[in-house]
Structure 1
Amino acid sequence: MSEQRKPAEEYVVIRHRPGYRLRRTSILLAFTLIAAAAGYAAGLAQGGFRFTNVEASNERLEAKAATLEANYREAQQQLVNLERGKIIDEQALNQARKIIVDLETRVGGLKSDLTFYKNIMAPSETSKGLQVDSFSLSRDRQVGAYNFKLVMTQVGNNKSYISGVVAVNIIGMRVDEKEVIALRDLSQEIEDLGVKFRFRYFQDVEGKLTLPDGFEPLEVQVVAQAEGRKSSQAERTFNWDDLTEN
């Protein structure tokens, strides 16, 4: 039996290059570092661009907010000025209205006085001599109290004085009965039943009267009696409601 021959062993010849692996590893590491640096730089550049845009937008927003705030303050100040102007205008308008009312009242009073003196100096044929011109009432602060004013005139012939007495009575109802009360019994300023007068043109009789409890006034009766050479009588009745309606 023949002996089998073992296959011959093969050998690979490799060229030995000292430092090759080290150089290749170094090159790969270098490329890796360069790529990382490039990526970081690109990202930094892009991020810086975004930051710049955000900062610019923030500045624009701050400027716009400052402008809006300034406009708001200006509008608020204008509103305050308008409100103040409105108050001043209202005060001036109210004052002007008050002045107009006062002037109208004065004009009305002057016209009344003018008519009064005209009637005295240039009367009609039917109104000469002693006249009961007017009787007026105004409410007092005290309940049931009134301020009164009686005006008598001498119309036409005013060259000499006229004298006499005038009586004032308040006519009304109390406990369903008619009652006549003399002014003397209602006023502390009047002491006699007849108030004496003496004048050439006109004379006022003024005072305060207080109504008794339960008395309902209806009329005021005035009777004036002139004495002496100009003896005459003047009588006039005034409705109480007409005297106190204001």
Structure 2
Amino acid sequence: MNDDARAPAPGPASATATPLSRRGRLTRWLVVLVAVALLFGVWGAWRVLAPATDDVRAQLAASERDRRGQSDRIEHLQQRVATLGRSDQISRDANRDLQSTLAERDEEIAALRADVAFYERLVGSTEQRRGLTAHAIRMQPQNGAAWHFTSTLTQNLNRGAISAGELTLSIEGTRDGRLQTLDWDALRQQEDAPGVEYSFKYFEQLEGDVFLPEGLTPVRVKVRLAPDSGAAVERSFGWAQVAGEGGSG
């Protein structure tokens, strides 16, 4: 018999050892492949999701910047509106003050023109010759019971002559249903109150203050001129005629 026939056949342990070893290697390789696949999957997911997260953050940052920019623009526009509103109000107030000033100036100019026309007639050759008189008086209310008076005195009878003397007032009115007359001392609230002195050739305006008691309703004001020589001259004016407006009797 030859040697090959005599060689003993492999035992059962040797026959099963080789398939088990192969199966273990395959299992390890499968585990490695699965782990690698999982790693690649995680890496791929991160690659996919990370840019999206960055984009969202960038969008949120851009939105925040836009919101801040809009807030700044809105605040700037609000400030401009407020500034324009104040400028418009200032312009309106200035225009109103200007209109009021112009109206006052127009009134002053009209009054001056009337005075000039009156004085031209007074000193002109065609004006009727008149002696000393109170041409007009104006009463204007002040604080409390005080009233400021302005009286215009004239004369053109004696051209070039000086008229000099004192002016006093008396006021008639009603109080508690009774007629009452306040003389110069009562109006000035002073005993032996001196009159307002005048001295002029053709005309002069005299001013002063008087005080009316509470509850008195004035009806008439009387101007009395006491010249240094000659008889006194008196002239009465209705209160409604002269209170704040001026006029002649």
TM-score (normalised: structure 1): 0.69
What is the RMSD computed on CA atoms of the aligned residues?
3.9
Question: Percent of pairs identical after alignment?
Answer: 21
Query: Any idea what SS the aligned residue of 1:155 has?
Result: coil
Superposition map of 1:19-168 within 5 A: 19-122=21-124, 126=128, 128-143=130-145, 145-155=146-156, 158-162=159-163, 168=169
Inter-partner Cα distance in structure 2 for 1:37 and 1:110:
107
Inter-partner Cα distance in structure 1 for 2:173 and 2:236:
13
The alpha-carbon distance between structure 1 residues 120 and 232, as it changes in their structure 2 partners (threshold 3 A), is farther
Deviation sequence 1:122-147 (CA, Å, 0-9, x none): 3755564434211222224342x433
Inter-partner Cα distance in structure 2 for 1:232 and 1:190:
20
Inter-partner Cα distance in structure 2 for 1:23 and 1:165:
143
Gaps of 5+ in 2: 1-11
The alpha-carbon distance between structure 1 residues 65 and 234, as it changes in their structure 2 partners (threshold 3 A), is same
Inter-partner Cα distance in structure 2 for 1:95 and 1:212:
36
CA contact (8 A) 1:123 1:156 kept: no
Letter in 1 for 2:208: G
The alpha-carbon distance between structure 1 residues 125 and 40, as it changes in their structure 2 partners (threshold 3 A), is closer
Inter-partner Cα distance in structure 1 for 2:64 and 2:129:
91
Inter-partner Cα distance in structure 1 for 2:64 and 2:186:
89
CA contact (8 A) 1:122 1:156 kept: no
1:111 positional shift:
1.9
Aligned residues: 229
The alpha-carbon distance between structure 1 residues 74 and 140, as it changes in their structure 2 partners (threshold 3 A), is closer
Query: Does residue 209 in structure 1 map to residue 216 in structure 2?
Result: no
Letter in 2 for 1:171: E
Superposition map of 1:161-176 within 5 A: 161-162=162-163, 168-173=169-174
CA contact (8 A) 1:119 1:155 kept: no
Q: Which moved more, 1:168-177 or 1:103-112?
A: 168-177
Query: Any idea what SS the aligned residue of 1:110 has?
Result: helix
Letter in 1 for 2:240: D
Inter-partner Cα distance in structure 2 for 1:79 and 1:32:
69
Deviation sequence 1:23-42 (CA, Å, 0-9, x none): 33233323322332332233
Inter-partner Cα distance in structure 1 for 2:214 and 2:23:
138
Letter in 1 for 2:31: L
Query: Does residue 240 in structure 1 map to residue 239 in structure 2?
Result: yes
1:69 positional shift:
3.1
TM-score (normalised: structure 2): 0.68
Gaps of 5+ in 1: 1-11
Deviation sequence 1:86-126 (CA, Å, 0-9, x none): 35424533442353244234323422331331231237555
1:238 positional shift:
0.8
The alpha-carbon distance between structure 1 residues 53 and 157, as it changes in their structure 2 partners (threshold 3 A), is same
Query: Any idea what SS the aligned residue of 2:155 has?
Result: strand
Letter in 2 for 1:242: Q
Inter-partner Cα distance in structure 1 for 2:171 and 2:214:
14
1:239 positional shift:
0.8
